[in-house]
């Protein structure tokens, strides 16, 4: 049998030394091919991990760690305060009066979530375009739509974790620091469904819009600026329009502002009132939910369309 590294064909140059061609034993892959489903799952979990800087260098972990801690701080502070007041027998009364509750937490950390989107979304879509590796993703079982959907789903899952973990800490703190735990669980369970729904809407809308912006530019700086602008400018313009007395235009601008939409869905789900100074018209709560749904579906569709046509 021929040694794979044995010269099999001598080749002599015209006036140079003799060279050789080696048989190094290249063969076709004969193992199990895991297929499209495995590729999608792998990309989803890779996107989820990358959103928090896991599996990357130390510098990539700085922003998600700092922003994650900032998102947790209000919940930790409230639980610490509840612990202190519980020692003096006033935990229950204090928990009912604190400004940070289930219905206010999403709004409290919304700026942090926007900054997380601006910092991390360009890393998922922008890096692959910048380093020209999209062709490698599309070369095998993974379709272009699979790539876009897996990336978006992974990032939305990361935002869902960012939204829900503080609420879980708040729930555990409120329940475990009371004298009647079963009653506390029963009282707080009614907030679970609104918390889950609001967190899902916030993660879907923030994540979808951020990924669309990132999909259209490989340049990180442009993507960051675009994401922040898209989340802030509509609110500013709506406020100016309201000040000028044009309520009709202001209403439509309210319904295209992601942060305003989520304020509306939060009020609808928790049955609270909107800030009358800004929400100058009594839009039905379901209008904000519908706007959030359209925003989520529309942004995902745009991102999928973008990668269906992008050159590799």
**Could you tell me which residues come within 8 angstroms of residue 38 by beta carbon, excluding any fewer than 6 positions away?**
none
Radius of gyration of the chain (CA): 26
Give the pLDDT of residue 276. Answer: 53
Number of domains in the chain: 1
So what's the pLDDT on residue 64? 95
Whether 2 is covered by a domain: the verdict is no
**For the purposes of burial, counting CB atoms within 10 Å of the CB of 170, is it exposed (0-12), middle (13-18) or buried (19 or more)?**
buried
**307 lies in a domain?**
no
Q: What is the pTM of this model?
A: 0.85
| 171 part of a folded domain | yes
pLDDT < 70 positions in the chain:
1-19, 88-96, 242, 245-247, 275-282
Distance CA 241, CA 250 (A): 6
Q: Looking at the domain assignment, is residue 309 inside a domain?
A: no
**Is residue 310 situated within a structural domain?**
no
Give the Cα-Cα-Cα angle 300, 304, 307 (nearest 5 degrees): 140
Residue 87 tokens read as: 């020692």
How far is residue 32's CA from residue 171's CA, in Å, rounded to a whole number?
46
Q: Look at residue 75 and tell me if it is in a domain.
A: yes
Confidence (pLDDT) at 19: 65
Whether residue 55 is contained in a domain is answered as yes
> Tell me, what's the pLDDT at 192?
94
Q: What is the pLDDT of residue 270?
A: 93
pLDDT the model gives residue 279: 52
Angstrom distances, CA of residue 32 to CA of 29, 35, 38, 45, 60? 9, 9, 12, 21, 34
Domain membership of residue 283 as a residue range: 7-297
53 occurs within a structural domain: yes
């Amino acid at each position: 049998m021929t040694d794979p590294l044995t010269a099999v064909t001598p080749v002599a140059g015209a006036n140079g030394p003799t060279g050789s061609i080696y048989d190094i034993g290249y063969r076709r892959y004969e193992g199990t091919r895991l297929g499209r489903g495995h590729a999608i799952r792998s990309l989803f979990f890779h996107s989820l991990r990358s959103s928090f800087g896991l599996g990357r260098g130390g510098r990539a972990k700085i922003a998600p760690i700092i922003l994650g801690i900032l998102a947790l701080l209000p919940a930790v502070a409230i639980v610490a305060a509840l612990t202190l007041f519980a020692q003096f027998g006033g935990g229950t009364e204090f928990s009912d009066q604190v400004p940070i509750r289930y219905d206010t937490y999403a709004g409290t950390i919304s700026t942090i979530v926007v900054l997380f989107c601006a910092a991390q979304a360009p890393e998922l879509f922008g890096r692959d375009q910048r380093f020209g590796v999209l062709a490698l993703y599309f070369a095998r079982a993974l379709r272009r739509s699979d790539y876009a959907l897996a990336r978006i789903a992974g990032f939305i899952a990361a935002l869902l974790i960012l939204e829900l973990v503080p609420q879980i800490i708040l729930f555990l703190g409120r329940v475990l620091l009371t004298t009647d735990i079963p009653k506390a669980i029963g009282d707080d369970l009614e907030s679970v469904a609104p918390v889950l729904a609001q967190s899902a809407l916030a993660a879907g809308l923030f994540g979808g819009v951020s990924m669309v912006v990132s999909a259209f530019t490989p340049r990180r700086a442009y993507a960051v600026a675009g994401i922040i602008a898209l989340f802030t400018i509509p609110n500013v313009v709506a406020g100016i329009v309201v000040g000028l007395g044009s309520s009709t235009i202001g209403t439509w601008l309210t319904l295209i502002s992601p942060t305003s939409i989520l304020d509306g869905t939060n009020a609808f789900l928790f049955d609270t009132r909107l800030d009358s100074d800004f929400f100058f018209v009594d839009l039905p709560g379901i209008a904000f939910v519908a706007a959030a749904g359209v925003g989520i579906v529309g942004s995902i569709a745009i991102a999928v369309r973008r990668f269906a046509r992008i050159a590799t």
